[in-house]
Structure 1
Amino acid sequence: MNRDRVGVVFGSLTPPETLIRSARLAEQLGIQELWFSEDCFFTGGFSGLTQLLASTERARAGLGLVSVLTRHPAVLAMETAGMARMYPGRVRIAVGLGNTHWLDQMGLTARRPLTTVLETFDALRDLLHGAELDKRTDAHRFARIGLEFLPEVQPELWIGAVNARALRAAGRADGVLLSALSGESYIFWAKQQIGTDAPRPPRITAYVLASIDDDEHVARNAVRDAVGFFLTAEAHSALVGQSRFETEVRSRVASLAPNERLAVEDEWLDEFAVAGTPAQVRNRLEGLLSAGADSVGLWLFPSGDHDRQLRRLAELSGGT
């Protein structure tokens, strides 16, 4: 398996003070694609991305994703430009709506969510290319705003998308970020929605909940709670809708009592995560890549055993 197609996701489960050590270890082990997931209310996305870039020398590092509602596009462009100037050729930024529960907690709503995502993406791209914006969009106002310090090397601009309309619109981006729970059937379907008609089809990276252990039961149990959390949150979305367990998962989630955890079946883990022995994990990753992902970003479990998981990953993906 080509190790250039396997990356690692850091974020909510990574204590900020351990991020530098783990990022350095990942690069030393030959992992060249790093992502930072901004999850509210854990570690800020740009501080996390800065640590990934500052503690490594060559790895590409992406922020994925950052909500279009938590920062004005001009502030997002300003932050992105600074990162791109300091670390040319290594920066990726993925924008999307974000987790609606967290947005509700902050009183942030979009009248037309997809429109807001696309208008923010376009504004971000235009500002980074030196445009001065003087207009209103559906969610924001720009009054003669331009960046003072433009990047010499343009950062990659990605869109995070889940459902069909967003995936079709995401073809304008440098890359498309697919959410955790992405299985083979979903990735194959998502790539069809994105299409390949653009002169440069966007790169597709899928987030994957993962664990590697010589005991497959230990690995499965390490991701079980996380899979249950995401299935509960995404039961309505295409991530579940495009799976063979659509009816079963949605029915089970609908019957949950308040604060009740979803019981996750072993066969669901095979669809929505990558967990097992090194041989099983290798086969599952090859299946996800064959389904249409250009790379996978692994969210490694258990979170308290991150460094050992990185070493196991490097072993099966050809690292040293």
Structure 2
Amino acid sequence: MTTLSANTEVDGRRLGVLLGSTTPPEDIASLTQWVEANGFGELWIPEDYFFLGGIAASAIALSATERIRVGIAVVSSMVRHPALLGMEVATLARAFPGRFAPGVGHGVPAWTAQMALTVRSPMSALRETLTGLRALLDGKTVSAEGNVHSFAEVTLTHPPAERVPIYTGVLGDKGIALTGALADGLVVSVLATPEYVAATRAKLDAAAAEAGRQERPEVVVLCAINVTRDPAEATAAREQIKPALAFYLAASGPNPLLGSIGGNDQLSDMLSRGGAEVVLAEMPEHWVDALSVTGTPQQAAAAFSRLFDAGADKVIVVPIVEASGRESLAAVASILSNSLLTQREPI
């Protein structure tokens, strides 16, 4: 096994940062520069309606940096027509070759409903977006009559010179299968367990093989963190993340992520008796370890390695405790500079 060191390409391609959706737009440039300067190789930007615009925020981040790759996790396939999305993606891909990675998903139903963009078949919207976007970025003229999106002789005037990778952000088996067949990678939602990552890796590889693809789709895992460089604060960091985890679990309800460790029945029981406050009071300790990364840089490095061993190609850290967000990122940056993380042997 080889050891990762700071300022290497391999190192930069393994750990990244998700920008918080509450980040003021005027702070994006300086935050992105800090992420790049501290050894991270990727910045992912959420398009959570109605916070930051993913395309606009990506343009700011790319313009402010020189090396780091910027991705969007993710644009709803129902909000932008694939032709418009293709035009925006091509513009950034041409201006910043090899540094932009768009992601597409279904979108949060409550948000798309606010825009009267609910469709009968979200899977059709995702499939039509992936196929239309891929064709347009490859320089093809697209004419198609879809269930959600249609095209009439659409051609991009400025297609990218290089192939642009397209990611999805989905949880269910149908979406994973579609990703394996059509996309270049999958962005796995925050609160993913190593068990969920391993199962998803296997499903994604099987779908890609069934579609006859030679390339292995990438698995990018968003990882909730609260890490500290002070060993005396490690226990406090663990306690601080629990309310955020309880909030996420209460908001999502039973889901495939928690289901991967057999927790959905217990969560359902909690929610039948209340909301986040009940989840916080009764949350098993092993849920905290499975759903997040806390403690010291050494403990975090071991937890990240478990995700890589499960099949993650990249881990994108998400500091979900706002008060300690910068400390968490600095602690993870120390993992890079001190070579605490090891690279798996090629599969």
Specify the TM-score bucket, using the shorter chain as the normaliser. over 0.9
Q: Which residue of 2 aligns with 1:194?
A: 204
Q: Is the 8 A contact 1:175 1:204 kept in 2?
A: yes
C-alpha spacing 1:103/1:265, structure 2 compared with 1 (3 Å): farther
Q: Which residue of 2 aligns with 1:302?
A: 321
Unaligned 5+ segments in structure 2 are: 5-10, 340-347
- In the TM superposition, what whole-angstrom CA distance separates every residue of 1:138-189 from its partner, at most 9, and x where no partner exists? 1122122211111112221111121111112211211111111111111011
Aligned residue for 1:111, secondary structure, equals coil
Q: Distance in 2 between matches of 1:315 and 1:180?
A: 22
- Tell me by how many angstroms 1:260 deviates: 6.1
Q: Is the 8 A contact 1:77 1:127 kept in 2?
A: yes
- Tell me by how many angstroms 1:195 deviates: 1.6
C-alpha spacing 1:23/1:295, structure 2 compared with 1 (3 Å): same
- Tell me by how many angstroms 1:319 deviates: 6.2
Q: Which residue of 1 aligns with 2:49?
A: 40
Does residue 209 (structure 1) correspond to residue 227 (structure 2)? The answer is no
Choose which of 114, 122, 125 in structure 1 pairs with 2:131.
Answer: 122
Q: Distance in 2 between matches of 1:82 and 1:304?
A: 36
- Tell me by how many angstroms 1:11 deviates: 3.1
Does residue 255 (structure 1) correspond to residue 265 (structure 2)? The answer is no
Does residue 231 (structure 1) correspond to residue 246 (structure 2)? The answer is no
- In the TM superposition, what whole-angstrom CA distance separates every residue of 1:24-71 from its partner, at most 9, and x where no partner exists? 011111111111011122111111111221111011110111100111
Q: Which residue of 2 aligns with 1:76?
A: 85
1:1-320 to structure 2, matched below 5 A, reads 2=4, 3-4=11-12, 5-171=14-180, 172-195=182-205, 197=209, 198-213=213-228, 214=230, 215-256=233-274, 262-263=279-280, 264-318=283-337
Q: Is the 8 A contact 2:167 2:187 kept in 1?
A: yes
Worse overlay, 233-242 or 57-66: 233-242
Aligned residue for 2:110, secondary structure, equals helix
Q: Distance in 1 between matches of 2:224 and 2:24?
A: 18
- Tell me by how many angstroms 1:230 deviates: 2.4
Residue-pair matches, total: 319
Q: Distance in 2 between matches of 1:185 and 1:235?
A: 19
Aligned residue for 1:195, secondary structure, equals helix
- Tell me by how many angstroms 1:192 deviates: 1.4
CA RMSD of aligned residues (A): 2.0
Worse overlay, 131-140 or 181-190: 131-140
Worse overlay, 294-303 or 200-209: 294-303
Q: Is the 8 A contact 1:168 1:195 kept in 2?
A: no
What TM-score comes out, normalization by structure 2 length? 0.86
What TM-score comes out, normalization by structure 1 length? 0.93
Q: Distance in 2 between matches of 1:69 and 1:221?
A: 38
- In the TM superposition, what whole-angstrom CA distance separates every residue of 1:175-225 from its partner, at most 9, and x where no partner exists? 111111111111011111112523101010011111112312332244323
Q: Is the 8 A contact 2:137 2:159 kept in 1?
A: yes
Q: Distance in 1 between matches of 2:34 and 2:255?
A: 35
Identity among equivalent positions (%) equals 30
